[in-house]
Chains A and B, each alone.
Chain A
C-alpha cells in the first residue's frame, strides 16, 4: 500500500510537469500580441507610441527566448508568484484569491447536491421501478443529461426570477456578508450546475441498484422479513455506491467546465468567467495561471480518489 502511494505520487509529479508544459506552450501559441491588446484597451482616445510598446515588452519579459520565459515562469510559480495580469494590472494570485472561493462554493455545493439527489433519485426509481414516480423521474433524468446547461439557466431565470419572482436573478454575495441572500442567489446556479450530475448519478445508481436488488442476499434479506428501508439502506445502497463515487470524481472536471457557462449566465464573479474573459482578451498570464491551478486541482482529486479506492474496496489490486 505504501509503495503504491509513493509510486502514485511520483507519477502525479511527472504528470504535473507535463501539465505545465502543455499549459505554457499551448497558451503562448495564442495569435495576436498581448501588448497590442493592452494598448487597445487603454488607448481608446489616447495616442501610444511604438517605443512604449517595446518598453512594456521588456517590462513583461516578452523579449526573451521562449524557453527562458518558460523557465522563469516555472521559477515564479514555485515562489507562488503567478505574475501580473496584463488587462487588470493586478497580481494573478490576488485575482484568483478573489475568484476561486466563489467558484468552489458553488462547485462544492453542486457536487454535494448532485451526489445526494442523484443517489436518492436513483434509489427511488430503482425501488419503485415501473411505478408512477419512476415514470416521472426517469424521463427527467434523460432531460438532465441532454439539456444544454446555458439554456436551462435562461429558462430558470425567466421562470423563477421573472415570472414567479421567487429568487434573485443573478449575482453573488459573500455568505459572510449576507447568508440568506447568498443562499437564495445560489439556488438557481447550483440546481443548474448539478442538474447534469443529478441525472447522471441517478441513472448510474438506478442501474446498479437494480442489479443489486436482484441478487441473492437481498432476496434473503426480504425473506428474513426486514423492512424495506433497512434493506435499501443497509444492503442494497452500500453496494451500489462504488460506481457512483467514480462519477463524483469525474464530476470535479465537469464542475469547472460548467462554471464557465453558469458564471457567465448568472453574473457570478468566479474563476470560470475570469478565464473566459481572459481567453477572449488574450490575457495569457491569467489563462496560464487558472488552467494550471484547475489542472492541479483535478490531478490531486484524482490522486486521492485512486488511493481511497484501496480503502473502500480491498479487492482492487495495486498493479
Chain B
C-alpha cells in the first residue's frame, strides 16, 4: 500500500512546488524591480566587444513570424521577404540614412530624359544551384513580377533590355526617384532552378513555395511550416570569408511571454522584431543586448472622403487631435519607449518637419471646435482595431470621452481588419500601425497619391497635398535627398489639413544574448545582413 502511494505523492509534491514556488516568486520580485524608464538608446554589450569575429555556431532565433512561402516571389508576404534574406539577396538596399546602396548590383544609372534605369551587376556571383547571376537572371525576375502584377511600380516598365552580360536597362514610361528603390529592393531567385523544377506552371509554383534557390550566404536546410526554418552556411558564398555562422535557426513562437521566457532561459540567442514593451524592458534589465528598430508609425485614419461622415468636417478631425494627450498616452503604453507624434512623420524620419506641432493637447479647444462643427451635443464614432490595439483604443476612448466624443470600439480579427483596411474600406476611424523605412517612400506607400498599402481612398486628400506629392516625385529629382524639401512641404500640408491623426511611434527591438553580434534589424523588417552576424564563444 505504501508503494501504491508513492507516485501520486510525488505528483502532489510537484504540484505544491508549482504553486508555492510561483507564489514565493511573485511576492519577492516586486520589491527588487520597479518599472524602469528606459530610453531607446543603443545599449552597450556588457561584455567588451571582441575585435575579430569568430566563425561557427548556430544562431538560434525566435520570432513571432515565420516564412510560409520560401521562394515564390509573386505570393510573398512581408515576413516571407525579410526572413528569407539569408537565402535571397536584393539587388540594392537602404543604408541607415535611407540612401540606396548596392548589393547584387555594382552600380546603376538613371536617365530621367530617356526614361531608363540601367543596372550593372556584380560579376562572378553564382546561385546555389551553380547557375550564373547575370542580366538575364535579373530580367527574368523582373518579368515574373510584371507578369503577376506584383512588381511595385511595374506598370511603368515598358520593356526590359539585356544590354550586356551584366547590364540590364529598364525602359520606362515615366520616371521618379522612388522607382530605383522599388525596383532595387527585389529579392532574386534562380530562374534555372525554378524553370527546371517541374513541367507545368502549377508544379513549378508549388515547388518554389517550398524551396528557395538564391545567391545568399545560407541555404534552406530544413523547413517545417509554422514551426521552424533552418538555414545552413553556403560554402561558395560570393563574399570572401563570409558568412561567419554555420547555421541560423528561426523558431516560431506566437506568444510574446513564452518567447521572453525562452530568451531568459538561454534557449535562444536572438529574438527578432519584439514590440511588447514590458518584455524589452525586462530583458534589458537582465543585461541582454538590444538593437533598436524604428518601430511602427501609429495613426487613426478617418473616412473623411465620405461626405456624410462627421469626419469629413475638418473641425472634428482637429478636435480629435486636440482632445488626445498623445505624450501622456505614449508614455503609458510605451513605458517611456514610445515617441508621441505630432505630424505625419517621426523625428527619426528624414521628412520630419522640425518643431511642427499643429495641435497639442487642449481639451477646451477641442470642445470649442466640436461646437463650431455643430457637434456640441456629442458625437459617436467607431474605431476599428485588432485585439493588439485594445489598450490604445481604451486610452483614446477615455480621453475623447472627456471632450464629448464617444468611441465605439470595433475589435476585429485580422481577416476582417485587413479586409476593411486594405480592401473594402471602413466607417469613421481605423487604428493602424505601419512600418517605417529609412527613406521617405513611406509617405507615398501609405498615404500618398496612389498608396500601395492602405486603401486610403477613404481619406480625404486636399488638392494642395496631392500637388505637393506629385512635385516631390518630379523626374528632376534623382534621389530622395533632393526631393526632401518638397516632401516636408507635403507633410506640413497634411498637418494643416488634419488629414490623418498621427498618434505615436512604437518601440521595436531585436533582443540578443550578450555574445551575439548582429546588425538585425538595421531597419525594421527591411534589412538584415546575416552574413555579418557572429557569436563569441559561449
Contact = CB atoms under 8 A, between A and B. Distances in A.
B149 interface: yes
Contact of A36 (B145, B182, B422): B422
B12 interface: yes
Interface string A84-100: 00011110000100100
B152 A42 contact: no
A265 B155 contact: no
A39 B454 CA distance: 12
A281 B415 contact: yes
B164 interface: no
B25 A269 contact: no
A55 to B, nearest CB: 10
Contacts of B389: none
A162 B453 CA distance: 40
B18 interface: yes
Given A34-B415, A44-B78, A46-B150, A169 B265 contact: yes
Interface string B14-27: 01111101100100
Nearest to A136: B12
Contacts of A170: 253, 258, 262
A137 B12 contact: yes
A32 B420 contact: yes
A188 to B, nearest CB: 11
Interface string B174-204: 0000000010000000000000000000000
A89 B206 CA distance: 8
Contacts of A89: 69, 75, 209
Contacts of B261: 157-158, 161-162, 169
Contacts of B75: 42, 89
A259 to B, nearest CB: 14
Interface stretch (B3-11, B395-403, B466-474): B3-11
A91 to B, nearest CB: 9
Interface string B258-276: 1001101101000000000
Interface stretch (A71-79, A103-111, A116-124): A116-124
Contacts of B152: 45-47
A282 interface: yes
Nearest to A37: B415
Name the prevailing secondary structure of the B interface residues: helix
A40 B422 contact: yes
Contact of B265 (A136, A162, A172): A162
B424 A36 contact: yes
A234 interface: no
A269 B226 CA distance: 6
Interface string A274-300: 100101111100000000000000000
Interface of B: 1, 4-5, 7-9, 11-12, 15-19, 21-22, 25, 68-69, 74-78, 145, 149-152, 154-155, 182, 209, 224-228, 251-255, 257-258, 261-262, 264-265, 267, 413-416, 418-424, 445, 452-453
For the complex of A and B, list the 4 residue pairs with the smallest distance between their C-beta atoms, beginning with the closest: A282-B415, A36-B423, A32-B419, A40-B418
Interface of A: 30-34, 36-37, 39-49, 52, 87-90, 95, 98, 117, 120-121, 124, 133, 136-137, 140, 143, 154-163, 165, 168-172, 228-229, 264-267, 269, 273-274, 277, 279-283
18 contacts: A32-B416, A36-B419, A40-B423, A43-B150, A46-B145, A49-B149, A120-B8, A155-B22, A162-B265, A163-B21, A165-B265, A169-B267, A229-B1, A273-B226, A280-B413, A281-B415, A282-B413, A282-B419
Given A43-B422, A121-B8, 12 more contacts: A31-B419, A39-B422, A46-B149, A47-B155, A117-B8, A159-B18, A159-B21, A162-B261, A169-B258, A169-B265, A281-B414, A282-B419
